Copies of this chain bind each other. A is one copy, B any other.
Amino acid sequence: MSSEFNLIYHHIAPMAGSRGDVVLGIGDDGAVVKPQNGQHLVVALDTLVAGRHFFMGQDAADIAYKSLAVNLSDLAAMGATPKWALLSLALPSACADPDWLARFMTGWSSLAQRYDLELIGGDTTHSDTLTVSVTLMGEVSPGWLLKRSGARVGDDLWLSGHIGDAGLALTQLLIHTQPEPAIAQRLHRPTPRVAIGQQLAGLATAAIDVSDGLLADLGHLLKASAVGASLVIENMPFSPAVLNWVEQSGWENPLTSGDDYELLFTVSPKYRSQVKDLAIQTQVSLTRIGSVITAERGLRIVKDGVEQEIPQRKGFDHFAAPDIMEQS
């Protein structure tokens, strides 16, 4: 058995769970599962790259947690129940090490266990650049699927949690300032809004996860739905730290900085009380940040009654952005 297989079997295979719908997990040419009859299968694949999506010296547990969280956030935005994951690790020599891998799998399982998610396959290979690819599969009832494309004129625009925390943490780390722990946590260990996504079925007309920046992702939702919207800056859910950031350098930063992993969704005004009930039930704040106002595409941003100029840069762009540097 090669060292590659040793890596897989000693550190990854023991993480496999005991879902009754897994026919064959890690250890054959492919993984085999039994989908539920009549359900839709929802799949997301996201790759995280050292120096891009996380700092090079980052705790391996954080890297694993975030790699899984960003995919869980995608499935949440579809209203799906996550079930099975595959993990591909391209590792520099320094990471192809039992301690690093054990630490990685600690971060992975701390999140996976919360959702009864089973790791069923994947591979490990060598690379100069630490690269983590996660494929996440889940299921949703056909009528309960959330798309980006169903928003209607008159719908309210809702946002889960807060935005801008991760952007603030990244900005601070890049100038070698330590963020508040709660803010750093939001960058390194984002909370996917899985329960909210599942409960939005029959309520939301459209949904997207906010990963590239609120304005960028709102733009995707509006484009897919072929509608326009207005946002009210005073209604934005900012944490105290982000409010301070806004006072110092404007509202544009938290609305364009990315890595929030909150859900942005549209709901008819007649369901406002149901959305509020959902916030209470899931213990996550849900905030009405604007509304869908026109059947023509476009965005209007209002602050204290005054229409604002739309920022040129609406979100994080993996090809335009500089690499993030090694953590100090």
Chain A contacts to B: CB under 8 angstroms:
1-5, 7, 23-24, 27-35, 37-49, 51-53, 73-75, 77-78, 80, 84, 86-88, 90, 93, 96, 120-129, 131, 133, 135, 137-138, 140, 142, 145, 147-149, 207-209, 212, 216, 219-220, 223-224, 314-321, 323
Q: Give the top 10 A-B pairs by smallest Cβ distance, nearest first.
A: A2-B317, A29-B77, A129-B129, A133-B133, A45-B86, A30-B44, A35-B35, A47-B88, A29-B74, A135-B135
| Cα–Cα, bound, A44→B86 (Å) | 8
Query: What is the chain B residue whose CB lies nearest that of A216?
Result: B2
A318 to chain B, nearest CB (A): 5
Determine the distance from Cα of A170 to Cα of B224 in the docked complex, in whole angstroms. Answer: 47
Contact B38 A37 (CB under 8 A): yes
Chain B residues with CB under 8 A of A133: 45, 47, 88, 133
B47 lies within 8 A of A78 (CB): no
Are A49 and B125 in contact (CB-based, < 8 A)? Answer: yes
Query: Which B residues are CB-close (under 8 A) to A28?
Result: 77-78, 147-149, 224
Chain B residues with CB under 8 A of A53: 125
- B-side contacts of A135, CB under 8 Å: 43, 45, 86, 135
Q: Name which of A80, A96, A124, A135 has the most chain B CB atoms within 10 A of its CB.
A: A135
Contacting A45 at CB < 8 Å: which of B123, B315, B319?
Answer: B123
Given A3-B320, A129-B128: A88 in contact with B29 (beta carbons within 8 A): no
Instruction: Using known A-B contacts A47-B123, A131-B47, A318-B126, determine if residue A219 contacts B30 with beta carbons closer than 8 Å.
Output: no
- B40 near A4 with CB under 8 A, answer no
Say yes or no: A148-B88 contact (C-beta < 8 A), given A47-B123, A127-B131, A318-B124.
Answer: no
